[in-house]
Amino acid sequence: MQRKAQAANFRLNFTRPAKCPAAALAYTSPAARIFQPDELHARTISGERNRATRTSARHSNKSMVTEQQLQRGFADRLVQALQKDEFALYAQKIIGVTGGRERPSQEIFVRFKEEDSKLLPPGAFFGILQEHNLLPYLDRWVVNCLARWVRSGLKIKPDWEVPRSYVNLSDQTLNDPDYGAYVRKYVEGPYLAKGAIAFEISVESAFEYHDSLQRLIAGLRPHECCFTLSGFDGNERSIEMLRTFSPDFVKIDYGCVRPGQLIELVRMCRVLRTKTIVEFVENPKSLDNVRLAKADFVQGFGIAPVQPL
């Protein structure tokens, strides 16, 4: 239980992208400006505001109305933050275990810059965005921001090997029928092509949004997008999702499995041609066990810190 609490705190301190606000950032061709922050889905935003207004009108309790007004105000502030690029991406390296030549890889996290300046609790924005059904727009912003980051890097070093970035998707984004088309415009361009982006989905989300995930994979895998199944622990459901979706990678939480079990999970994934990433590896002894299990990749604070992108 303590290990799971540590994992939860880790995810709050550096919010994994599958999380946040209302701004459908428009795609422009790579030759043009990649980011146009003024182009938002106004109907979506106003619809959410109207829904919140109707909801608060049903309640006579003044304190409840006040709380909803505060949340709505914070949601509006977060929309502005997306328009003005006031979120920031962080990354944690994912390292190959075998020592062979591997493409540089990293998991992407999101921070709201105002959290530090106004001493807000880390990840406080996520719940507000989730409440207002705005998470797909943060996930769009993450893809857009990654494309701009890659473009800047290639300007400085044209032969730079672009890292593979693992981006977590929210359940709301999985259920968004337009998200795949949005991403496709980027992976067909020069910056996020050739496997530069991998989407991470939990076992539980894959099970709950089975059909939506199938459509997303069918639309993006032909463009070399990769998919990662996180929370894989060898239980019946996780094995079912592994066999159903044939992900490129699975993530195993080191703190949730025994060393002997880890060996078996890695062996199972290798038979099914899925590579393994063992995360939350915090010390040399844990790393030795991961090597013994012959996992493909490793991630954790004992390997590399989370740093600004």
Q: How far apart are CA 62 and CA 59, in angstroms?
A: 8
Q: Look at residue 300 and tell me whether its pLDDT is greater than 90.
A: yes
Q: How far apart are CA 264 and CA 268, in angstroms?
A: 6
Q: Note whether 274 and 249 are within 8 A (CB).
A: yes
Report which secondary-structure segment, H or E, holds 108.
strand 105-112
CA 275 vs. chain centroid, Å, equals 19
pLDDT at 230: 96
Of 209, 173, 219, 183, nearest in space to 22 by CA? 173
- With vertex at residue 114, the alpha carbon angle to CA 109 and CA 117, rounded to the nearest 5 degrees, is 120
Weakest-pLDDT range from 93-107, 140-154, 260-274, 294-308? 93-107
- More confident call, 121 vs 174: 174
Place of tokens 């507000």: 128
CATH number for the domain running over 2-20+86-120+135-308: 3.20.20.450
Q: How far apart are CA 7 and CA 14, in angstroms?
A: 11
Percent of the chain with pLDDT over 90: 60
Q: Residue ranges per domain, the chain?
A: 2-20+86-120+135-308
CB atoms within 10 A of CB 179: 25
Of 250, 183, 249, nearest in space to 215 by CA? 183
pTM metric for this prediction: 0.77
3-state secondary structure of 235: coil
DSSP result, 43-104: HHHHHHHHHHHHHHHT---HHHHHHHHHHHHHHHHHHHHHHTT-EEEEEEEEEESS-S----
Q: How far apart are CA 69 and CA 43, in angstroms?
A: 20
Question: Per-residue pLDDT tens for 148-182?
Answer: 999 999 999 999 999 999 999 999 999 999 999 99
Of 219, 218, 266, 274, nearest in space to 241 by CA? 274
